[in-house]
Each structure stands twice: as C-alpha cells, then as structure tokens.
Structure 1
Amino acid sequence: MSVGSSGLELHLVEEKADAAAWIAVAAGIIGAFMAALDISITNSALPQIQGEIGASGTEGTWIATSYLVAEIVMIPLSGWFVNLLGLRRFLLTVTVLFMVFSMICGFSTSLGMMIFGRIGQGFTGGAMIPTAMTIVSTRLPPAQQPIGMAFFGLTAVMGPIAGPLVGGWLTENASWHYAFFLNLPVGCGLVIFLLLGLPASKMRRDFLFEADWIGIAGMSIFLGCLTIVLEDGQRDHWFESSFILLMTALALFGLAMLVYGQIYAKRPVIRLRILFHRTFGSVFIMALVTGAALYGITYLIPQFLAQISGYNALQSGSVVLLSGIPMLFVMPFFPLLVRHLDLRIAIAFGLCCYAASCYIDSSLTAGAAGGDFYTSQFLRGVGQTFALIFLNQAATRSVPREFAQDAAGLYSAARNLGGSIGLALIATLLDRQTSLHTQRLFETVTSNSIEMQDRLRPAGTDILAIQSTIGSLYQTMIRQATVMAFNDMFYFFSVALVLIIPLVLILKPIPKNLPVAVH
C-alpha cells in the first residue's frame, strides 16, 4: 500500500522488518560509526602526522578542524541530497568518496594534501550520521525501532570515545597511515550492505531547479565559519584577530542568507521552523548541551591524565573507553526499557547520572590517576546511555513524519555543534581559570608566609638551594592551579547538565505501534 506525502512515495512497513531492512540498518550504523570515529581518530597521532608532512603545531590543528567543519556543514544538508538522489544512490556515492578521501589522507605528504582529504572525509562522513537515523526510523516498524536506535546511540557515544584509542594503538603498533587505511575494508563491506539492504529509487531532478540555493550557500557559510570561530577563537585570541572577525562577519552573513531562504524559498533547504516546535526545540537544546559534555569530557580526561598523571595516548584512551562499557550491558534490555519506561524519566535519569559523574570529577587532586576516574566513568556511561539514546528516540518522534529528515539533520548537527561549543569553552575557560588560580595561590604564599619559611629553612643560606626550593614550590603551585582549573571545568559541565533537566517535562511519551513510512 502506498500513499503520497510531500511529493514522496511512502510505503507502510510491516510489523516485522525483513532481512533486507536489517542489512540496511547495519549499513547505516556502520557508516555513522566510521564518521564518528574519524572525528577524533587523528588526535593521538597528530605529533607523528605533523612530523611527516612538515606541519607546525598550529597548522596541525587544522587536520582535526577541517574534518569537523565539513562534517557540520554536510549533516543538515544530507536530507536535501537524499531527496535529490535517493537514499541508496546518495549513500553509495558518499561511501565510495569517503574511501577515496581516506586514501588521500593516508598517502598525504603535505599539509595541503592532508587538509584536502580531511575536508572530503568530513563532507562524506557527515552524510552518514543523519541518514543512519533516517534508515532506522523508516525501514523498521515501531516495535523494532528501539533496537536500531540503541545501536545508533552506541555509535554516537563510542565513536568519539574509541577514536583516540584506535588511533593511538594503530600509531604505536603500525603507523598513523593505517588510521585512514582502516576505512578501505570497512567501506567495501558497507557498499555491499547498501546494495543488498536499500531499494533503488529515482532521482528527483526537479529538486535541482527548485532548490533553495541561497539557503544552501547560507547554511554552508554560517556553519562552516561558526565552527572555525569556535575551534580557533581561543588560539587566535578571539576578536583581537582579524581572521576571527572576518569569520564571524561571514557567519552572520550566512545566517542572514539562511533566514532569507526560510522565508522566500519554495522548498527551504531545511525546515528550521521545527526548532520552534516546543518538543523538538527542547530536544535540540538538550542535544547541544549533551554534545558539549560528550566531546568536552572526552577531551578533558586525556588532557588531565597527560598533564597531571603522565599517561600516554593509549593509556588515556583506555580510561575514556570505560564509559562505553555500561552501554554494552544496557543495550540488550533497551527494547524492554522503551516499552515500559517513560521517555521523560529515562532522559532525566540519564542527565542526573551524567551530571553526577562530572560532579565527582570536580574534586580531583594533583595525585589523581586513571583509577580515580573509574567510578565517574561507569556512572557517565550509564548517563550517556539513557540520555543520548532516548534523545535519539525523541528527536525523530517529536515532529510530523514529513519532517523526520529535517529533524534527524538538525539533531545530529546540534550534537556536533554542541561539541564545538564545549571545546571552545574549555579552551577559553581552562586557560583563564588556570591563570586565576595561579594568581590566587601566589598571593597566599609570600616570602614571609609560614609555608615559605618552612620550605626555605632546610636550605639555610645556600643560594642555589634556595633557588631550587622556590622553583620547586612554583612548579607545585602551577600544577595545583591546573588541577583546580580542570575541576572547575567538570563542575561547569555538571551544572550545565542539571540546568537542562527541567526540559524533559516538555517532552511527550513515544507513541507505540504506529505505522512508519519508508522512502
């Protein structure tokens, strides 16, 4: 049976998905995981990559930034490309191109070649994230969608977490090149799954002639420039930099173009008006904050362990990966939880656990090591499981069916954009809080203070011994100030997560056993 909706052919899904549907879901999940993994897989290998391609530390940051910028631009545009090319043709195209660009990165001998490959990876990888949600919500019946969403939620959490660990292991045991070559066999398997699992569909060439080109250009300029501002703002001293000022101006110009397209285009590139839908607007805000926490904490813990505990990338990655373990235990029970647990209670519980885990980490000491993160990491894993997976459910079910692709794109973009915002806040606040705590510690330890006199007494009148003692005390205070700044960051994320908990009251329980439309 078929019905028409917004010019698209829709078919009601049977109550039990067939093998082809599950193969399609597997393809979507694998693609989303590849894209999420490649966001952070180069983090551990950056020093080696920079050395081989002749890039400085500042230039090397663009290896990660270029991927993120391109991905964030592509995520909300993917729905338009699906309508234009058809889901199968679009995913086959981006998968093949993702492998090509991965090979370009793996064989790179210069910074320009590497950045070109990473931009291509970002564009093609960014298309795989929201389309995975689309496949789950359109190829599976309501009773089986929770299983697909659970696996999609696993990619959203495990991708950024596993990236540094996988990249670090490959770099230390083989070469950084294999962090990119890994995508070739996985991509080949993905192509086979797509051919078997997704039905062919016709191109809609009328979308080319009726496209919201002003909105497409505006969204690309806005999201691209905004991400650059967030990623590089602190390093370039924010608005003291003419480059950051230019990017900010271009972002505002792009936003104006996007708004113009929303008002005057026959078919806007993405329907931003769903953001004003009370339920989806709440999901969008929660996705921003949880995205900031996911990427922010994934960055903070390795940085703390490297600077304070002397851990290498592989050791730090192992600690970060602990938060993924609770999800593996919860996933088998997820369909049962969706059937019997209220959506609002599940998300509120997840956010409470997430916030509590951050609060636990806000009392670290200079002697802390990986073991001090075990409790908080397991608690964080429980929080991420309930908050992120149930938010996935809420995102696609909080809008009418014809807006499902727009909702998937905006939700995925919100999570990644939230990650950029979180990392920008960390870069800014961590430096400022470290300076603030250093200054306060210096003010409490003067030449006449009891602590200073106690430390200097064994040195007697030996000038070299006195200088060594003062230098040692200085390093101790710097170290302590750094720990206090990290504690402030964990506390900041704890408060941010608590503040969004009331938004769950706006959400509605997911209706059960409704027919689902498939393109």
Structure 2
Amino acid sequence: MSSPAAYTPPAPLQGSARLWGTIALSAATFMNVLDSSIANVSLPAIAGDLGVSPNQGTWVITSFGVANAIALPLTGWLSQRFGQVRLFVTSVLLFVLSSWMCGLAPNMNMLIAARALQGFVAGPMMPLAQTLLLSSYPPAMAGMAMALWAMTTLVAPVMGPLLGGWITDNAHWGWIFFINIPVGVLAGFITWTIFHKRETPTRKLPIDTVGLGLLVVAVTAIQMMLDRGKELDWFHSTEIVTLTVVSVIAFAYFIVWEFTDDHPVVDLKLFKVRNFWTGTVSMSVAYSLFMGNLVLLPLWLQQFMGYTSTQAGMLMAPVGIFAIILSPLVGKNIAKFDPRKLTTFAFIVFAVVLFMRSHFNTSADFGTLMIPTVIQGVALAFFFIPLTTITLGGVPADKIASASGLSSFARVLGGSFGTSIAITIWQDRTTMHHAQLTEMINRGSNASTSALAGLNASGMSTDQALSQINRMIDQQAATLAANDVFYASAVIFMVLIPLVWLARPKRMGAAAAKEAAAGAH
C-alpha cells in the first residue's frame, strides 16, 4: 500500500476521456438523485399492488432516506480504506443490483429491505462523483465542472415525478427501478475504464464500530416508531414504547461515546461552532418540511382528487424550472451577498407557497395547484447554496469534509423524519375532520336531507346515497387536513428565520466553497 504522504494527484483528464468521464459521473449522479424522487408519485400504485396502506407505502421513501443518511458519515473512511474509484464503481454496481431487487420485490417487506440497501450504497456516490469530477478538470475549469454537476442534480428532480408517473400509468411500477440498470452498468463501466489508473492510495484506518452501531440502532428505532406509530395507536402499543426507549438510550450512549472516542464516526464537537449548528438545524428542519410536503401533495392528489400518477408527476415537476435557471446565478454571486438574507428570502417564499396551498379546496383546477409548485423553485434556488455557505463558514479547513458529511447526514435524516411526521399528522387530522363533518349529517340538517333527496331522486338507494356522501366527506376531510399541514409548515418556516440570523457568516476558502456546492445537493 502506498503512503498517503507520497501521493501525487493525477493530472487532469484531456479530450474525449474528460468528456466521457463527465458523462459517466453525471449519469450516475442523475440516477441517484432521480431515485430519491421518482417513487413519490408511484406510492399509491405500489401500496395498492403490494396490498398495504398508502401510509405504509411511504416506507419506500423513508427506508431509502434513513439508510442513505447512515452511509454518509462512512464515506470518508470507506474511500480511504478501498480507494475512491473502487468505492464509487462498487457503489454504482450495488445500486444497480438493489434497483433490480426493488423492481422484483414480491411484497412490501422485501421492497423496504431492497430500498434500504439501495439508500445505503447510494451514500458514497454523490460526494465521490463530485470529487472525481473535480480531479478531471484543471483548477481554472473547476467552476464549469461544478456547474455541470449541479445542473445534473437539478434536472433529476424535475424528471423524477414525470418519469415515475408515466411509467406507473403505462407499465408495472417496477420499471421505475429497472431503468437504473442500463444507466448504472454503463456509468460503472465507463468510470472504471477511465479512472481505474487514477485510484487514490488506501490505508487501514480505525473505525468507530461502537458509535456506528449505536447510530444505526438509534436512527432505525426512531424511524420505525414514526412509521408504525399511527397503525399501532402510538404509546398504547408496547412495540412503540420499546422502540422509543431503545432509541433514546442508544442516542444518549451515542452522544457520550462520540465525544470521548479518538476516531468518532460523527464529529459532534462541530456543534460547538455557532455557524455550523445554526445552519445544520435550519437546513434539517427546513428540508424535513420540504420533503414532508413533497410526498404529501401527490398522495392527496391521487387518493382524493382523482389524479393519475402521470398527472401528479406533471404537477410536481415544474418545481425545478426556476431552480435550474436561478441556482447557477446564486452560486456564482454568493460571495456578493449576505447568505442570511438569501436564506431568509428562501424561507419567506417557502412560507408563501405553503400558505397558498393551505387554501386549496376540492374544486381547485390544475393551474391553481401548479402555481405554488412553480414558485417553489425560486425558494429552492435560494435555499441550499446560501444555507450550506452559512453552515461551513467558520469551520476549520481540516474539518470541512467532516462538517459537510455531518450536515448532509442531518439533512437527509430530517427529510425521512419529516416525511413520516407529515403523513402521520395528515392522517390524524383527516380522521378528526371526518368526525366533525359527519356530525353535520343528521335528520335535523336541511343540507343533508336535501343532498339525500337529490341523490335518491337520481336513482340511488338510501344506502348508496349515504355512501356517496361519505366519499365526499372523505375528500373534504383529507383536503382540510392537508391544508392544516401546509399552514403549519408555513408557520414553521417563518419561525426558522430568527435562527438563521444567529449565525455570523464568514467568507469561505476554495475547499469550503467546493464542499458547499456538493452539500447543497
């Protein structure tokens, strides 16, 4: 094994090798990001086909997110142990294998296990794709390399809902995973062909197995508690109480262990840096709100508004239009502005978007539903890069990689938790609104007797008429509940703004700027 001290970085690639290397790395990144959004509009179809509730269907999203978050802190250790090129290509090929397993899954348990594997092996792909891409270009062209990489990560969320919706409506949902196979195989083959002679040196490093084990137990237990709480009646269930106790104990031991271990899997001492903890907390909470509403909206559209998967995908896709246009401008000019002001603007736009959605009703047309989605793209452009700039500003240069990994871990984990919490609150509020609306259906209500009479006159029996009214109540209750979630999310975004202003942004060096661009996606 070569010594890290003697390692000289290879010269930048030239000509067609650089072109094909960029295409391969971008394709792998595209495939990774696409898979984080492509399943959103397919959840009702997946849940129905596998015989589970739509609430259980969200485990397809959360299992991927939790496993992905757990893998992120391990990327640095794995890349030094096995080499960046080997790790990246192995991750891509395992991603292909797990995608194939997802598409063939005969039941929800197998699908969740395959998605967890997919999320775990996807963890190293994003940071390593960025690292290998930067090594392919001379320093003077690093900005262009990052712009190409950033565009890939922004186009994928636009394509995900569209492609997922079309596939679900026109073929078996498994094809949303099968399409990764040719892309991944080609990306892995081209990357290995071009980069295998540029492998980084390897060395045996200690790994914090105790800390990693405690982290896996704590995160898995709390995610299972959030996912299963609704159907098990929360703390009336022994299983939920047990999961909560296990999570709290494991997390407490994890914190103590990480502060005392010489090689912690997560460097919690970074939270002593004001900019880091304010940025990370703001990013995690904001991303949890964003992801929760991103999953809730297509579920509501398909379950209660009569939208097909394709139509839901068409409504969700425009979120990336302004993000694609504005993100390069924000990234290029970030040094000219106070990132706290840009983040504040993003949070206000998010709040406005969610406030608009909180006034949706069952007669809202496609255009009305799409307007907030288009506007949300503006918030995305001014959200990730400035907030990542705040988070990494002031972190010592030798801690930038650890800080970027830890903030990404917190963000991805926040997204998984936010998805579970949003869907749970939506279902609870739906039940409450349904009960309140049902109370109004009685013999003393002129509206209900008139509606029954009208339905009877159209040829329905009394039972059929009552069933029809109940379906209308279901739709109204779910819509009111979704409005509640949207409104609460808008309020939380506004409450987050003072937290951002606790930070004291500092200018970042070149290394931190590169990490900011990576962490932003």
TM-score range with shorter-chain normalisation? Answer: 0.7 to 0.9
1:186 aligns with 2:183: yes
Letter in 2 for 1:254: A
Alignment of 1:69-218 (within 5 A): 69-109=66-106, 114-132=111-129, 159=156, 162-191=159-188, 192-193=190-191, 196=194, 199-205=198-204, 207=205, 210-218=206-214
User: Residues of 1 paired with 2:131 and 2:142: CA distance?
Assistant: 11
Cα displacement (A) at 1:122: 1.6
* Stretch of structure 1 that moved more, 147-156 or 63-72: 147-156
* Stretch of structure 1 that moved more, 27-36 or 77-86: 27-36
Cα displacement (A) at 1:253: 3.5
- Of residues 402, 419, 424, the one that matches 1:428 is 424
Alignment of 1:25-44 (within 5 A): 30-44=27-41
1:279 aligns with 2:278: no
**CA root-mean-square deviation:** 4.0
Letter in 2 for 1:78: T
- The alpha-carbon distance between structure 1 residues 372 and 254, as it changes in their structure 2 partners (threshold 3 A), is same
Q: Which residue of the partner structure matches residue 337 of structure 1?
A: 333
- Of residues 295, 300, 306, the one that matches 1:310 is 306
User: Residues of 2 paired with 1:103 and 1:454: CA distance?
Assistant: 54
1:500 aligns with 2:496: yes
Cα displacement (A) at 1:278: 0.8
User: Residues of 1 paired with 2:490 and 2:512: CA distance?
Assistant: 37
Q: Which residue of the partner structure matches residue 413 of structure 1?
A: 409
Q: Which residue of the partner structure matches residue 327 of structure 1?
A: 323
Letter in 1 for 2:477: A
- The alpha-carbon distance between structure 1 residues 133 and 350, as it changes in their structure 2 partners (threshold 3 A), is farther
Assess if the C-alpha contact under 8 Å between 1:134 and 1:408 holds in 2: no
Deviations 1:172-201 (CA, angstroms, capped at 9, x unpaired): 344434322322232234332465368322
Q: Which residue of the partner structure matches residue 231 of structure 1?
A: 227
What secondary structure, in the 3-state scheme, does the structure 1 residue paired with 2:362 have?
A: coil
TM-score (norm 2): 0.83
- The alpha-carbon distance between structure 1 residues 214 and 155, as it changes in their structure 2 partners (threshold 3 A), is farther
Alignment of 1:338-487 (within 5 A): 338-443=334-439, 446-452=442-448, 455=451, 472-487=468-483
Assess if the C-alpha contact under 8 Å between 1:218 and 1:253 holds in 2: no
Assess if the C-alpha contact under 8 Å between 1:67 and 1:122 holds in 2: yes
Letter in 2 for 1:220: V
User: Residues of 2 paired with 1:460 and 1:45: CA distance?
Assistant: 37
Assess if the C-alpha contact under 8 Å between 1:401 and 1:517 holds in 2: no
Assess if the C-alpha contact under 8 Å between 1:13 and 1:141 holds in 2: no
Cα displacement (A) at 1:231: 2.6
* Stretch of structure 1 that moved more, 137-146 or 269-278: 137-146
What secondary structure, in the 3-state scheme, does the structure 2 residue paired with 1:234 have?
A: coil
Assess if the C-alpha contact under 8 Å between 2:44 and 2:299 holds in 1: no
Cα displacement (A) at 1:285: 1.2
Aligned-pair identity in percent equals 28
Cα displacement (A) at 1:306: 1.6
Assess if the C-alpha contact under 8 Å between 1:160 and 1:295 holds in 2: no
User: Residues of 2 paired with 1:136 and 1:414: CA distance?
Assistant: 25
Cα displacement (A) at 1:145: 6.4
Deviations 1:123-161 (CA, angstroms, capped at 9, x unpaired): 111222344566688888998766666666666665556
Assess if the C-alpha contact under 8 Å between 2:288 and 2:418 holds in 1: yes
Assess if the C-alpha contact under 8 Å between 2:360 and 2:369 holds in 1: no
User: Residues of 2 paired with 1:142 and 1:278: CA distance?
Assistant: 31
Cα displacement (A) at 1:326: 0.8
Deviations 1:358-401 (CA, angstroms, capped at 9, x unpaired): 11111111101321122211111100111023333444445222
Assess if the C-alpha contact under 8 Å between 1:96 and 1:187 holds in 2: yes
Q: How many residues align?
A: 509
What secondary structure, in the 3-state scheme, does the structure 1 residue paired with 2:444 have?
A: coil
- The alpha-carbon distance between structure 1 residues 304 and 59, as it changes in their structure 2 partners (threshold 3 A), is closer
Letter in 2 for 1:308: F
What secondary structure, in the 3-state scheme, does the structure 2 residue paired with 1:506 have?
A: coil
Assess if the C-alpha contact under 8 Å between 1:75 and 1:129 holds in 2: no
User: Residues of 1 paired with 2:456 and 2:220: CA distance?
Assistant: 60
* Stretch of structure 1 that moved more, 360-369 or 174-183: 174-183
User: Residues of 2 paired with 1:403 and 1:270: CA distance?
Assistant: 12
What secondary structure, in the 3-state scheme, does the structure 1 residue paired with 2:378 have?
A: helix
User: Residues of 1 paired with 2:9 and 2:394: CA distance?
Assistant: 19
- The alpha-carbon distance between structure 1 residues 457 and 267, as it changes in their structure 2 partners (threshold 3 A), is closer
Letter in 1 for 2:72: I
- The alpha-carbon distance between structure 1 residues 354 and 44, as it changes in their structure 2 partners (threshold 3 A), is closer
Cα displacement (A) at 1:323: 0.7
Letter in 2 for 1:399: V
TM-score (norm 1): 0.83
What secondary structure, in the 3-state scheme, does the structure 1 residue paired with 2:317 have?
A: helix
Letter in 2 for 1:102: S
Assess if the C-alpha contact under 8 Å between 1:441 and 1:477 holds in 2: yes
Letter in 2 for 1:501: I
- The alpha-carbon distance between structure 1 residues 253 and 18, as it changes in their structure 2 partners (threshold 3 A), is farther
Assess if the C-alpha contact under 8 Å between 1:165 and 1:318 holds in 2: yes
* Stretch of structure 1 that moved more, 290-299 or 22-31: 22-31
Alignment of 1:262-301 (within 5 A): 262-301=258-297
Letter in 2 for 1:96: L
Deviations 1:424-459 (CA, angstroms, capped at 9, x unpaired): 222222122223333433455653345346556779
Letter in 2 for 1:87: Q
User: Residues of 2 paired with 1:321 and 1:492: CA distance?
Assistant: 24
- The alpha-carbon distance between structure 1 residues 98 and 455, as it changes in their structure 2 partners (threshold 3 A), is closer
Assess if the C-alpha contact under 8 Å between 2:208 and 2:263 holds in 1: yes
